[in-house]
Structure 1
Amino acid sequence: MTEKLYYQDPYMRIFTASLEKSDRDEQGRFYIILDKTAFYPTGGGQPHDTGTLNGVHVYDVEEIAGEIRHYTEAPMEVHSEYTGEIDWDRRFDHMQQHAGQHILSAAFEEEYGYKTVSFHLGAEICSIDLDIDRLSDEEMSRVEKIANNIIMENRIMETRWVSEEELSDYSLRKEVSVSEAIRLVIIPDFDYNGCGGTHPDTTGQVSSIKILHWEKQKKNKIRVYFVCGSRVLHQLSEKHKVIQDLADTLNAPQADLHERATQVLSTNKELEKKVTDLKMELIDYEADTLMEQAEILSNRKIVKANFSNRPMPELQQLAKRIAVKTDQILVLLVNENEDKLQLVCSRSQDVDVHMNDVVKDVLPVINGKGGGTDSIAQGGGDRTIPAEELMEKLANHVRTI
């Protein structure tokens, strides 16, 4: 059983220990087990520490059957003593985030009775899931203020080992998950919580808490995203940069960004509508031009046209427009891309030809797939033959119907 030095002193950055085991796991990863360690293994919503052992990088730490595995980038040489050094910036950041979660969860429960059911300490943002189905701006602001007041009061954060029988002496925020070696993290007169993570000695070292946003989850839960400590400054810096870039781009001060962005989006929608209308006018004009070039066959008109790199939706619109503009007409359109051939076939309502059958009969020539309805169908396949040859096959097929 590895002695956990981080329980004795979470501020321990350097320690010495003796080797108990050196091995590789099922995935071939090198690891060693020491008789004691200051490295925190993944658990309780808190990620593992990183650092070095005798100068070799430790990139993962896991606890398995009471033994703490230190996964190293290279196999470790056998020594009488090992010196470990914790990545302190990562450790202290985790201490701030984890302690901040305790404070935030306690504030939600103390003020509104909202219980925290899960916690995730991410690389950039943390989150808690609350057992509620809605959260108001007013509630969020109130809880955030309470949490930051607790931080500003710089209250002591105690850790205490208790027995199962002693638990009744504390107003625990949630039931503990173990029956032996129970460790409590306590902010007197505010929060009593079973926890095995690392935390600072005082709430003041959390520095600050900022709720970023929240969203509804399945099963009537609300997920609250937040950051603590130095991450608050990082978020402020990142968001200020984005806002400043937007202000420069939109040529507007920060206070007017929402209004200016709304104006830009509205103008953009109007321009998109105009572009769509103009495209339809062009397609309408193109349809008239192609109809003038139609062949006459057995009292039917046949429109044939080859295109290159034309968007499929445009061809579909063109085929539909021709088919509704006149009667007794068949439309055959072929499009050639870099390595594909596409086709669209349509007819007016008074022509008794099933366009879906026409397309499916011709597609095997290009190893293609497609389909549609009796009045319009489309498909595509490999460019195994020239586009002109595919058009000729289509035309010959409809001439025989």
Structure 2
Amino acid sequence: MAFQCQRDCYIQEFITTVVSCCPAELKLENGGKKEKVKGFNVILTDTVLFPEGGGQPDDRGWIGSVPVLRVTRQGSEAVHFVESALEVGSEARLKVDWERRFDHMQQHSGQHLVTALADAMFGYKTTSWELGRQRSTIELDTPAVKPGEMEALEEAVNQKIRDHTPVTVQLLSLDDPAVEKVRSRGLPDDHAGPIRIIDIEGVDANMCCGTHVSNLSHLQVIKILGTEKGKKNKTNLIFLVGNRVLKYAEKGYSTERSLTSLLKTGADDHVEAVDKLQKSVKVLQKNNLNLLRDMAVLIAQNFKNNPSRGKFFCLHRKDGDNEFMNIIANEIGTEDTVVFLTVGDEKGMGLFLLTGPVVIVEELGPRVAELLEGKGARGKRAVSRGRPIAWSGAGRRSLYCRSTSVIAAQRRSKASWE
């Protein structure tokens, strides 16, 4: 069947009846992770909430005051997932999340238009498309596009928008001869009911189940952001339609203003200013590394030149790195000295290095890694190094002190090594 949302894509509210309500579970994304939610699958006599299909995501909305979290199609039925049970036979007042719906209508109709003209103008067939949350992508059956083609395509699709080209929906039976004349990638196996044709006057007739605008003027504008290499000798065309173009421009302008304030230059000079800053940062980083290496040598030499030094050296430096620790260990020499070094600050993961006589390192390496709540690894020599995960503030200082105390106590207990 064709749902009410397919018969009239602009209806935002609708009254229908609850046919069934069965317990169900659904995996929903929450904070980047999927978690199971218990609820109910509800089937209605009809619906204005579009179930996922044709490359278009499903609608969101409400049945009364109950949020609809997912809408899927099962044969000729639309299944609405909600967290509260609804009484079978009761009246159901539906309301569509119109901002989401209209956005999907703009992107989907825009895709039909771009697909049709890319084929007509350049012979590029569409093999798939994706309606993304921020931008949409059409996969073209070509390894590359020629210079100037996307600019010409963008001009052509926007001219069709300026021409106020009508878009109509036809419902045809499967055996209607007209079905064979329309563009299609095939019907789903569980399709039931009439065939739905989206006809952009004079441009394209395409079999589709999705929701669409009634006139291309409702698309406002299409912006082709560019192309990129796709899979299997395909090219991905990236585009925005309507309100997404406005939001993209607003975000771009906001970013431009922020960069102007930070860089103290006009928008036309932003790229050059950032390039200069990056080069300056590279020079400073190189100088800093050289200074850090020199400092490591001096630290080691000061320890070696100290007549009252023992056989245990420990140090933490937040701006150090692996090379800094290696230089100190190599300069001190670890045949008769235990060296315990840590680097890193509160903003990121730290590193540690424990090196010295084999008998000490083999016993203490795993214990130090455990104390630092991190992972340790045995090196080629008598070295234990690793990446602690608990490396912030007082917690880091406490763990560091505990580790050095354990190492010092173990060093004193090894009389034979002394």
Identify whether the pair has TM-score above 0.5, normalized to the shorter chain: yes
Deviation at 1:383, TM superposition (A): 6.8
Whether the aligned pair in 1 keeps the contact of 2:63 and 2:95 (CA below 8 Å) is: yes
Change (3 A) 1:317 1:241: same
Corresponding residue of 1:92: 102
Corresponding residue of 2:11: 12
Corresponding residue of 2:385: 379
Corresponding residue of 2:393: none
Corresponding residue of 2:218: 205
Corresponding residue of 1:157: 167
**Matches of 2:136 and 2:308, distance apart in 1:** 68
The Cα offsets for residues 30-49 of structure 1, whole Å up to 9 and x where unpaired, read as 24322222221111111222
**Matches of 1:288 and 1:157, distance apart in 2:** 81
Return the TM-score normalized by structure 2.
0.79
Whether the aligned pair in 1 keeps the contact of 2:108 and 2:210 (CA below 8 Å) is: yes
Aligned-residue sequence identity (percent) comes to 26
Corresponding residue of 1:25: 24
1:255 paired to 2:268: yes
Residue type of the alignment partner of 1:216: K
**Matches of 2:352 and 2:412, distance apart in 1:** 15
**Matches of 1:112 and 1:200, distance apart in 2:** 25
Deviation at 1:245, TM superposition (A): 0.4
Return the TM-score normalized by structure 1.
0.82
Instruction: After superposing the two structures, state which structure 1 stretch, 248-257 or 314-323, moved more.
Output: 314-323
Length, aligned pairs only? 381
1:118 paired to 2:128: yes
**Matches of 2:196 and 2:224, distance apart in 1:** 28
Gaps of 5+ in 1: 297-301, 347-354
Give the RMSD, CA atoms, in angstroms: 3.4
Question: Secondary structure of 2:156's partner?
Answer: helix
Corresponding residue of 1:75: 85
Corresponding residue of 1:59: 69
Instruction: After superposing the two structures, state which structure 1 stretch, 203-212 or 186-195, moved more.
Output: 186-195
1:390 paired to 2:397: no
Instruction: After superposing the two structures, state which structure 1 stretch, 51-60 or 248-257, moved more.
Output: 51-60
Corresponding residue of 2:340: 334
**Matches of 2:59 and 2:147, distance apart in 1:** 35
How do 1:351-370 and structure 2 match up within 5 A?
Answer: 359-364=361-366, 366=368, 369-370=376-377
Whether the aligned pair in 2 keeps the contact of 1:366 and 1:383 (CA below 8 Å) is: no
Instruction: After superposing the two structures, state which structure 1 stretch, 34-43 or 54-63, moved more.
Output: 54-63
The Cα offsets for residues 291-328 of structure 1, whole Å up to 9 and x where unpaired, read as 323789xxxxx9641224554522223223445xxxx9
**Matches of 2:188 and 2:67, distance apart in 1:** 33
Deviation at 1:12, TM superposition (A): 1.8
How do 1:288-303 and structure 2 match up within 5 A?
Answer: 288-293=301-306
**Matches of 2:228 and 2:411, distance apart in 1:** 54
Deviation at 1:329, TM superposition (A): 6.3
Change (3 A) 1:271 1:336: closer
| Residue in structure 1 matching 2:315, options 294, 300, 307 | 307
Corresponding residue of 1:170: 181
Change (3 A) 1:141 1:23: same
Question: Secondary structure of 2:148's partner?
Answer: helix
Computing the radius of gyration over CA atoms, which structure comes out larger, 1 or 2? Answer: 1
Corresponding residue of 2:278: 265
Whether the aligned pair in 2 keeps the contact of 1:290 and 1:303 (CA below 8 Å) is: no
Corresponding residue of 1:139: 149
Instruction: After superposing the two structures, state which structure 1 stretch, 270-279 or 215-224, moved more.
Output: 215-224
Gaps of 5+ in 2: 27-37, 371-375, 389-398
1:239 paired to 2:257: no
Change (3 A) 1:55 1:341: closer
Question: Secondary structure of 1:102's partner?
Answer: helix
Deviation at 1:330, TM superposition (A): 5.1
